[in-house]
Chain A
Amino acid sequence: MNTAVTNANPYIPFPSEILDVVKHTQKEYTFRMKFEGEVRPGQFFEVSVPKFGEAPISVSGIGKDYVDLTIRRVGRVTNEVFEHYKGQSLLLRGPYGNGFDIDLYKEGETVVVAGGTGVSPVRGVIEALSTMDNAKDKYAIAGFRSPDDMLFRDDLARWKDRLNLILTVDRAPEGYEGNVGLVTKFIADLPLRDPSSAKAVVVGPPPMMKFTIIELQKKGFKDENITVSYERKMCCGLGKCGHCRVNSTYICLDGPVFNYTEGKLLMD
């Protein structure tokens, strides 16, 4: 049980067992949910949270029989999840959306820039990059608000040894030894051989994405080599409810992952 039941009715959720819970910060937890089926990083599930309702949560990790869902304790919907622990189950629908195509980042230099919970949808991408033979050509810039807000500490430690990881925080208490500053600060100095052919993945809050892309363009990145993932309100995940539509694009169907040549036209 607890596998993806192909339901005649796509609105009907299926119960999925909570296999494990990792607490990252006071606010962020990763729930390892039993799930067997095809999933890509960047896709999302609609998670039914008792007493509160559904929320779209992006996949932050993928295993043979599980998916990781990192849930931030913000908003009405997501507080309640934290009351539940291993062995219980949650109702899920999904996966929805297109997700990232890892194959795009196999060759050459790749830079992943992620901010805050934006690290969740690209965690799978960074993980994949870190295991590639040419991992020395792969860069990841991960930014968090403060040292206390850091997600995936174990992963960060592991990635640091395998690819070029720049970990930064917007602000830190005195005496903090790591990088302090916005992710955009580190783009200009990336020691890339050929920025014009390098690939980039950008995920995070809208202002962070905007300024990161400007920096990448300044560095010499081409729009067609930049991939973005957009966050929107998604009630159904099926292209019906209309909340995630931007112009003629439905983020839940056509996204949330876009090539920037397309993504830049999505004006709200």
Chain B
Amino acid sequence: MGYVLTQSGFSELVKSLESQYRIFAPVLKKGAGRHLDTDVVLYDFVKSAEEIELEHKSDYAFKEALLPMSETLFFFTEQQTKEADLDERPVLVFLRSCDLHALKRLDDIYLRNGKEIDPFYKRRRDLLHFVLIGCPHAFENCFCVDMGSNLTKDGYVFSIDSAEEGEDTVYRFEVPDASFNTFFEGAGGTKADVQHTYVTETKTRVRVPEEVPQAVMKDALWDEYTQRCIGCGRCNFVCPTCTCFTMQDVYYTDNGRVGERRRVEASCMVDGFTNVAGGGQYRKTKGERMRFKVLHKISDHKKRFGENMCVGCGRCDDVCPEYISYSHIINKVYDASEKVLQAKNAEGGEENE
């Protein structure tokens, strides 16, 4: 079940959706890239269809809907605290299949890790509905197929695919949530049997090891990243599954007893992430940090929650200013793991003889 809309129909649709939902979507920010006259696609609240970037993969992740880069949690005085207000209107988030898979990883941490549910996450989470942006083709660094995140069966209210047909752009929507039908009818949509597009093969391929032996942590493969990585943390900040944050207290007065507490996104690649009182620091080298990050994505999270954290969106490779390829590292880890296992098997074999 679905609808087809013209360009103007899509504009109408967004206009009417916008009256009931806040719409959080990828937006191409002209000139906001790192270098002069380069653009960046990041998430923002939009008012119109024209602002929504459907063609390019966003450089930054939808997770900012749940974990803003900087979020005030509460205000405090000497004896009282008050949670920061939140716009309580429901939100429609435009995202891709990999992103929707990433959502589950975010939920793992914020709703299921430890006995406490994160209330600041949950109150935002409860407001979200998802619009699936179809992927007719993979982008340069995508490897969703190998991570099993190319397919999405549920969790979205409708999907959107746009295609150039002659002079016009035609928009196709698969609408599993029938409560949205009225919006499409209102926008002059033509009923059609629509299924969202998805990627079936990617140029970038990864081999994810079933298990990473402890010995791989000490493998020399990590050393080169101590030289190459600059520890900027871009890979973390753009990652749809990176969840770490740091608390900040801000004081309005000299006595230091009135202020607000914020949390800001944090990166395990950036200096200071592990600093403890007294100057102690863990994982001082970039190579160790790279190992920590990569193994979290393809091994450690899985041990705890049953699924790999990485969804293969490739944003970390897109953004790395030092041309470090995370997908290459996965393959290196696979090879190193195989080597350890083979050595172990050979040893075991000898013992049996």
Tell me, yes or no, whether A and B come into direct contact in the complex with CB atoms closer than 8 A.
yes
Hey, which bits of chain A sit against chain B, CB under 8 A?
Answer: 8-13, 15, 48, 50-55, 72, 74-75, 77-78, 80, 89, 91, 117, 205-206, 231-233, 235-236, 238-243, 245, 247-248, 250, 252-253, 265, 267-268
Q: Are A235 and B279 in contact (CB under 8 A)?
A: no
Q: Which residues of B contact A250 (CB under 8 A)?
A: 113-114
Task: Give the size of the chain B interface in residues (CB under 8 angstroms).
Answer: 52
Q: Which of B73, B214, B248, B279 contacts A11 (CB 8 A)?
A: B73
Q: Separation in Å of the B273 CB from the closest CB of chain A?
A: 6
Q: Which applies to chain B's interface (DSSP): helix, strand, loop or mixed? A: mixed
Most chain B CB atoms below 10 A, which of A12, A54, A74:
A12
Q: Are A78 and B277 in contact (CB under 8 A)?
A: yes
User: How many angstroms between the C-alpha atoms of A231 and B83 in the bound complex?
Assistant: 30
Q: Which of A54, A232, A240, A242 contacts B268 (CB 8 A)?
A: A242
**A52-B256, A268-B282 as given contacts; A240 in contact with B301, CB under 8 Å:** no
Q: Are A48 and B266 in contact (CB under 8 A)?
A: no
Q: Separation in Å of the A146 CB from the closest CB of chain B?
A: 16
Q: Which residues of A contact B247 (CB under 8 A)?
A: 53-54, 235-236, 241
Q: Name the residue on B nearest A253 (C-beta).
A: B114
Q: Name the residue on B nearest A10 (C-beta).
A: B116
User: How many angstroms between the C-alpha atoms of A13 and B74 in the bound complex?
Assistant: 10
User: How many angstroms between the C-alpha atoms of A268 and B275 in the bound complex?
Assistant: 13
Within 8 A of A (CB), among B269-325: 273-280, 282-283, 288, 292, 295-296, 299-301, 303-304
Hey, which bits of chain B sit against chain A, CB under 8 A?
Answer: 73-74, 76, 78-79, 81, 83, 109-110, 113-114, 116, 118-121, 214, 217, 243-249, 251, 255-257, 261, 263, 266, 268, 273-280, 282-283, 288, 292, 295-296, 299-301, 303-304
Q: Are A232 and B274 in contact (CB under 8 A)?
A: yes
Q: Are A80 and B256 in contact (CB under 8 A)?
A: yes
Q: Which residues of A contact B279 (CB under 8 A)?
A: 74-75
Q: Separation in Å of the A166 CB from the closest CB of chain B?
A: 24
Most chain A CB atoms below 10 A, which of B247, B255, B273, B288:
B247
User: How many angstroms between the C-alpha atoms of A117 and B118 in the bound complex?
Assistant: 31
- 14 residue pairs from A and B, CB less than 8 Å apart: A11-B74, A11-B120, A13-B76, A50-B251, A50-B256, A72-B277, A231-B280, A235-B245, A238-B116, A238-B118, A240-B121, A241-B263, A247-B295, A250-B114
Q: Are A75 and B256 in contact (CB under 8 A)?
A: no
Q: Separation in Å of the A202 CB from the closest CB of chain B?
A: 16
Q: Which residues of B contact A8 (CB under 8 A)?
A: 119
User: How many angstroms between the C-alpha atoms of A73 and B195 in the bound complex?
Assistant: 62
**A11-B120, A205-B280, A238-B116 as given contacts; A243 in contact with B273, CB under 8 Å:** yes
Q: Are A239 and B114 in contact (CB under 8 A)?
A: yes
Q: Are B288 and A268 in contact (CB under 8 A)?
A: yes
Q: Which residues of A contact B245 (CB under 8 A)?
A: 235-236, 240-242
Q: Are A265 and B214 in contact (CB under 8 A)?
A: yes
Q: Are A243 and B244 in contact (CB under 8 A)?
A: yes
User: How many angstroms between the C-alpha atoms of A126 and B157 in the bound complex?
Assistant: 59
**A240-B118, A253-B113, A265-B214 as given contacts; A55 in contact with B277, CB under 8 Å:** yes
Q: Are A51 and B251 in contact (CB under 8 A)?
A: yes
Q: Name the residue on B nearest A53 (C-beta).
A: B249
Q: Are B280 and A206 in contact (CB under 8 A)?
A: yes
User: How many angstroms between the C-alpha atoms of A243 and B214 in the bound complex?
Assistant: 21
Q: Which applies to chain A's interface (DSSP): helix, strand, loop or mixed? A: loop
Q: Which residues of B contact A15 (CB under 8 A)?
A: 78-79
User: How many angstroms between the C-alpha atoms of A150 and B244 in the bound complex?
Assistant: 36
Q: Are A54 and B249 in contact (CB under 8 A)?
A: yes
Q: Which of B114, B276, B295 contacts A233 (CB 8 A)?
A: B276
**A12-B74, A235-B247 as given contacts; A51 in contact with B256, CB under 8 Å:** yes
Q: Are A74 and B277 in contact (CB under 8 A)?
A: yes
Q: Which residues of B contact A80 (CB under 8 A)?
A: 256
Q: Which residues of B contact A50 (CB under 8 A)?
A: 251, 255-257
Q: Which residues of A contact B266 (CB under 8 A)?
A: 235, 241-243
User: How many angstroms between the C-alpha atoms of A242 and B273 in the bound complex?
Assistant: 9
Q: Which of A78, A91, A205, A206 contacts B76 (CB 8 A)?
A: A91
Q: Which residues of A contact B116 (CB under 8 A)?
A: 10, 238-239
User: How many angstroms between the C-alpha atoms of A13 and B245 in the bound complex?
Assistant: 18
Q: Are A53 and B248 in contact (CB under 8 A)?
A: yes
User: How many angstroms between the C-alpha atoms of A205 and B278 in the bound complex?
Assistant: 10
Q: Are B300 and A248 in contact (CB under 8 A)?
A: yes
Q: Are A75 and B277 in contact (CB under 8 A)?
A: yes
Q: Which residues of B contact A252 (CB under 8 A)?
A: 114
User: How many angstroms between the C-alpha atoms of A55 and B275 in the bound complex?
Assistant: 12
**A10-B116, A13-B81, A80-B256 as given contacts; A267 in contact with B217, CB under 8 Å:** yes
Q: Which residues of B contact A238 (CB under 8 A)?
A: 114, 116, 118
Q: Name the residue on B nearest A55 (C-beta).
A: B277
Q: Separation in Å of the B228 CB from the closest CB of chain A?
A: 21
Q: Separation in Å of the B342 CB from the closest CB of chain A?
A: 22
Q: Separation in Å of the A74 CB from the closest CB of chain B?
A: 4
Q: Which residues of A contact B78 (CB under 8 A)?
A: 15, 89
Q: Are B119 and A248 in contact (CB under 8 A)?
A: no
Q: Separation in Å of the B242 CB from the closest CB of chain A?
A: 8
Q: Which residues of A contact B280 (CB under 8 A)?
A: 205-206, 231
Q: Which residues of A contact B74 (CB under 8 A)?
A: 9, 11-12
Q: Are B249 and A10 in contact (CB under 8 A)?
A: no
Q: Which residues of B contact A13 (CB under 8 A)?
A: 76, 81
User: How many angstroms between the C-alpha atoms of A238 and B288 in the bound complex?
Assistant: 25
**A48-B249, A80-B256 as given contacts; A243 in contact with B110, CB under 8 Å:** no
Q: Name the residue on A nearest B258 (C-beta).
A: A50
Q: Are A231 and B276 in contact (CB under 8 A)?
A: yes
User: How many angstroms between the C-alpha atoms of A75 and B282 in the bound complex?
Assistant: 16
